[in-house]
Each structure stands twice: as structure tokens, then as C-alpha cells.
Chain A
Amino acid sequence: MPVITYREAIRYALAEELERDPNVVVMGEEVAQFNGAYKVTETLLAKFGPKRIVDTPISEAGFIGMGIGASMLGVRPVMELMFWSFYSVAFDQILNNAANVRYMSGGQINCPIVIRGPANGGTNVGATHSLTPENVLANHPGVKVIVPSTPYDAKGLLKSAIRDNDPVFFLENTILYGDKGEVPEAEYLIPLGKADIKRKGTDLTIVTYGRSVIQSLAAAELLEKEHDVSVEVVDLRTIRPLDIDTVLASVARTHRVLIVEEQKPFASVGTQLAYMIQREAFDELDGPIHRLATIDAPAIYSPPVEAEQLPNPQRILKAALGAVA
């Protein structure tokens, strides 16, 4: 099976969907001539031309709103945010217009838009460029939220997202863009709302998503080797819809839970998970639900310290030992 990068996986998903459906348009800052700020869209302009691959001005509220309007007429825009952090300047468009228009019209209007781009810390770009808004986005009924951790997942989920008739927000990660993984050449789709057990284990369930999956897998190796703790890692892949059943089944096997998220702790995705696990699997728990989140402050710039602010294998290892103690 070919081994490709996370970046290429996203690019191939875009290319296949552009090929399949003439209504798909890729739009965003620097996506065409510049080949993408993170080179995700490299080669697409040459292949599909300027009608399908569109450079926008730095004008997120304008072009995202425009994409929403176009989607109501049946265009299927895939909008790139150079950073999801910039969603703040398009907040009204994303979360008032895209999220609500179907509801407020009594179901008369669909908004089949995809908004994608990286949402992560760890690159020493400071607080304004390090937002992880999956919890804020998922708080809005009407939208779907995906945070893939591997090339395989990124490709299969993005293709499903582009075919989805509801607004889908796809949160990538600049640190993962160069990560490699096996991706089949044959076309495949991964349904939204299906978690994936990335590692089997018996003593502890780590529920996580995005880059924290990779960090948790590294921690799980250390826990196995150094502490004889067998960890199961559940990758949510999609935040909304949420595959809580896979989480609960894992909890029923291990009876202990650690939630790991690159996310500020207050009202995070983990907050919702913890509520649901205690509500629906209380009797399966042998101890309190633990959580490891980003240290609760704006993203610090200082490179060695930012690495400590985020979930990392050592922090996860320590939290996991607390959870199984």
C-alpha cells in the first residue's frame, strides 16, 4: 500500500472530489497560485484551473460568507482557512449563517460547505494563531466537526465531508502535515461519527483525537514497556457526530478513563465526554474520569515551554499513571 503524507492525503481527497463533482470549488487565501500556505493544495490549480481553485483576498468573513451563499445555490465550496484561528473574524458567517440557516428556514435551505484548515498549537506562533476551536464549533447544532489524526483518516473523512449536505468543519494540524501513513490507492470513504481504536489495551482507555492521538500512542508504548500498563487508545476522529458507543464499549473493557485533548479545559470536548461517560457507564468505572488538557492559559510563545503546555507523551504518561493508580 502506498505511504503518503497527511498533506498529500488531503490533497488527493480534494483532487478526487473536484474530479467527481463539477460543483466542488476550492477557495481560500493562497490556495491557487501560491500552492497553499502549507502546500496542501499544491498542483491543484494546474490541474483544475482558476474557476475551481480560487485565490481569495485576506477577507475571511467575506469569502466564507460568500461560500455559504453560493452553497445555498448548489455550489459545493471547500474553503481553506489558513489557520482555523482566523475563524474569529468570520464567526458570524460560520456560526450564525452556516450553522443556523437550515433551521431558521424550517429546513428549506441546505448549506453544503466544508471549511478546512489547521487548528493546533505547538508551532511557537503565539496565542492568536494557536486556537483549537473544535469545542466552540461543536457547540452549535447544525454543524459537523472532524479532527483527523492520520493520513488514512484525513483522506477518507474529507471525501465524506465534501459529499455531506450539512456544513462540515475539518480541523487539520500543521505538525501532522508531514506525517506519513498507508493510504490505499483505491477510493474509500470513512463515515463521519465513527471512532477508531488505534491501539488495543486492557487497563486504561485513553479517549482522544487529532494530534493528541499520536502523542497518546507514544505514551502508551512507554506505559507498556516501563510500567506494564496496557492502554487502549480510542481516536474519536469526528467530534460531532460523536461515536460515544465505541468509547463506552472500551470503558466497559478497561474500567478506567483518561481523556487527552489539545484543548483548554473549560467547557472542552473532554468536558462533554466526561459527562456522557459518567452518565452512561457509571457502573463500569473503577475510578474517577481523568483528563489531560492544554495548560489553561493562552498559548505561550516560548518554544520549549509551549511543548510543555500541550499534551505530550510525558505529561500523558504521568496522567495515565494517575488514572490507573
Chain B
Amino acid sequence: MSKKTTAIAEKKDAEGVSDATRHRAAPINTQLSAEQKTDLYRTVVRIRRFEERSLRAYLAKKIGGFLHLYIGQEAVAVGCCSLMGKNDHVITAYRDHGHAIAVGMDTKPLMAELYGKITGCSKGKGGSMHYFDPSRNFWGGHGIVGGQIPLGAGLAYGIKYKGLKGAAMAFMGDGAVNQGAVHEAYNLAALWDLPVIFVIENNGYSMGTSQARSSAGDLARRAEGYHMAWGTCDGHDVYEVRSVMNEFLNRAREESKPAVVEIKTYRYRGHSVADPDKTYRDKAEIEEYQRTKDPINVFQSILVAEGVLNDESIGKIDTEARAEADTAADFAEASPFPTVEDIQKDVYWEVDNPQHKTSEGRLFFE
């Protein structure tokens, strides 16, 4: 995988310095070691290969339900999650595979979850849309559009209540911005100075409805109505995502201030694999993005130019990522399904911790 990236249309400031150049030169990026940069690149590739492998498994009918692929958007999750400190937290919607891998979850239980196996990260109880790993400050994986955003404000409330210096990133798609719960969360966050960044991953389509057909006005600018800071950035460049998000995250951590950041991105696949993707956009649009802004290619050419990557390391990373995805699929395949007895476990804390049980009576019914 060493396709050359064509020139990216770049915005330039008064001195003729492009946004991309400025972001690449940001200390948060220049301070990275070659090894750290390689790790970021590797994570982008690993997400891509994991999802491609999961798509094959889906088409082979190994996976049920929905599968919302993140392919094309990888630089957003990798860029944002790479900035997480000990007291920073993440919550997102149902297109959650990228964030899960970006926060460091092992791909074996992630694939096993898709297969509905007991070895899955949620024991086969959540599925594709409901990945969680609180040990990595990753709070899902939520299925209802916009429903996770008040929870994200709550994570920020928890950080603040406990007197910790941290921030929550609450991710949503461009379709979620029209949900009432999102606006309620905006208001609370601004009213109470909660350290939360509402991250709109704008891939242009809320399912099959384009932004122009679903949202009035600019998405991030709605923050102004709540006197919240806001920003936008391009989401195909890991460095740009890191540079922009770093400023907002630091402000959240240091001053406990919320913000809305709209990250422009694109998904190559349909809304879910059930979406034939034939009615609302044309192939040329997808191909144009792939040709000019593919997150792997963009970061790859940057890192090649920096001398961090070369053809050999690029090939090795790709081979390893494919092997990792295959290993995850093999692990998932070989793992057992939950049993019927498992259905009623993990419903109540109290039932799962019988030594601490205080209530009486029946909790389950026939």
C-alpha cells in the first residue's frame, strides 16, 4: 500500500501558510517520536483492515444485525483518541469500531463481539453498535442517534465533580445535530462549564440524507447560540485533527470549558452494510475522496516525506494489520457463543454480585 496521494486542496492564511502546514508544525505533532508517529499510522491501517475483514465476515453471514463501517473516517478517531490522558473519556455512537481500536482495545474481542461470541468485548450482548471498555475510558458504542451526547456531558460532569483535570469527547455524526437531546446537552455543558468537546464527525450524510437536505445552517456554528467555542477541521489528516482537538482539549482540561468541533470526513461504505448506497450519491464522489483524501494515503505520504516510513515499513505494517484482522476473525470463529443461561447475566449488578445482594423478591419473570 504505497499509492501516491495527489495534492490536497489547501486553504492558506494571509502569509500564504496553509492550514495543513500549520497543523503539521504544531508542537503536539512535532514533539512525536518517529515511533509514536508510526504507531498512529499503524492504528489507522489496523482499523481499515479490521473493518475490511469484518465486512468479509458479514458477507459470509458470520455477523448478524447491522455493521456500520468507519472506512474513510479513521483519522478522526485516531487523531482524537491519541490525545487522551488519564482523566479523558470518550463516548460515541454506533459507528464505533474505529474509536474502540483507537483507545487501545484488542481486536480479538472486538471481532468476537461482531460474531456474537462470549469472548466478545461485551460478551456477545452488545454487538457492533455497543462496544465498551471503561478500563480505557471508553463508554460506548451507543445505538440511538444523539442519545449518547447527554451521557458525554455526564462524563464531563463526573470529571468536574471529582475535581479531576480531564475532558470528555462526545462523538456524534452530522445527523445527530438535529436531535433534541444534543441541544439539551449543549445547553447544560455551556451553562455549567463542563469540560466536554462535542465532536461532530461530518461525513456528509445522515444515513442517506445529505447535510443540505437535513440540517439548516452550519453545524458547529450552532454552538454560538449557547456561547460555546467551536471550530472545524478536516478529518482526513491525523495531524490536523490532533492539532485542532489539542487546543480544545487543553482548554477543556485547564479552564473547564465545552466546545463543539466539526470534523469534515467521509465514509466510503453505505450507512450500514445493508445500505446499497445507490440512491443518494454517485461513485465519482467516493472515488474523488479516496483519490485525494484517503486517511491512510495522506498520512502515509506525510510520514514518507518526513522520513518516518518507507516502502518496507509501510508494507510490513499493512501485512501485520491484515494478519491481525485474520487472527481476530479466527479467534472469533473458534470462540463459543454465549449460552441461554448467559442471557440473564449482566442485567443487574446485584444479581452478578450475590455476596452484596441486599434486595429480596424476584428480579426476573416468566
Interface residues of A (CB under 8 A from B): 25, 51, 56-57, 59, 61-75, 92-93, 96-97, 101-110, 112, 141-142, 144, 160, 163-166, 189, 191-195, 238, 240-245, 272, 276
Contacts and interface: CB of A to CB of B under 8 A. Distances in A.
A96 B147 contact: yes
Contacts of A103: 125-126, 346-347
Q: Which of B130, B143, B348, B353 has the most CB of A within 10 A?
A: B348
Contact of B360 (A75, A164, A192): A192
Contacts of A276: 365
12 contacts: A61-B150, A65-B154, A72-B155, A73-B159, A75-B157, A102-B348, A106-B132, A192-B361, A193-B360, A240-B363, A241-B359, A276-B365
Contact of B155 (A61, A73, A108): A73
B187 to A, nearest CB: 6
B350 A72 contact: no
Contacts of B353: 165
Chain B residues touching A, majority SS: mixed
A270 to B, nearest CB: 14
Contact of B126 (A65, A70, A106): A106
Given A68-B154, A93-B150, A166 B346 contact: no
Q: Which of A103, A144, A192 has the most CB of B within 10 A?
A: A103
Contacts of A64: 150
B154 A108 contact: no
Contacts of A272: 365
Contact of A104 (B130, B349, B359): B130
Interface of B: 89, 91, 120-126, 130, 132-135, 139-144, 147-159, 161-162, 180-181, 184-185, 187-188, 191, 344-350, 352-353, 356, 358-365
A62 B122 contact: no
Contacts of A166: 348-350
Contacts of B153: 62, 65-66, 69
Contact of A102 (B156, B347, B363): B347
Ranked nearest first, the 5 interchain pairs of A and B with the lowest CB-CB distance are A69-B154, A65-B150, A62-B184, A193-B361, A73-B158
A76 to B, nearest CB: 10
Given A105-B126, A105-B134, A189-B358, 6 more contacts: A59-B188, A62-B187, A62-B188, A73-B154, A141-B364, A245-B361
Contact of B185 (A65, A105, A144, A242): A65
A32 to B, nearest CB: 13
A141 B347 contact: yes
A67 B140 contact: no
Contact of A97 (B125, B142, B155, B345): B142
Contacts of A238: 359, 361
Nearest to A56: B188
A123 to B, nearest CB: 27
A96 B94 CA distance: 14
Q: Which of A61, A73, A240 has the most CB of B within 10 A?
A: A73
A115 B123 CA distance: 28
Given A67-B154, A69-B155, A73-B158, A165 B349 contact: yes
B361 A75 contact: no
A59 B143 CA distance: 21
B158 A74 contact: yes
A169 to B, nearest CB: 14
Contacts of A189: 358
Contacts of B155: 69-70, 72-73
Contacts of B362: 193, 241-244
A66 B361 contact: no
A274 to B, nearest CB: 13
B347 A97 contact: no
Contact of B359 (A59, A141, A192, A245): A192
Contacts of A195: 361
Nearest to A105: B132
A104 B141 contact: yes
Nearest to B131: A105
Q: Which of B130, B147, B151 has the most CB of A within 10 A?
A: B151
Nearest to B360: A193
Contacts of B188: 56-57, 59, 62-63, 66
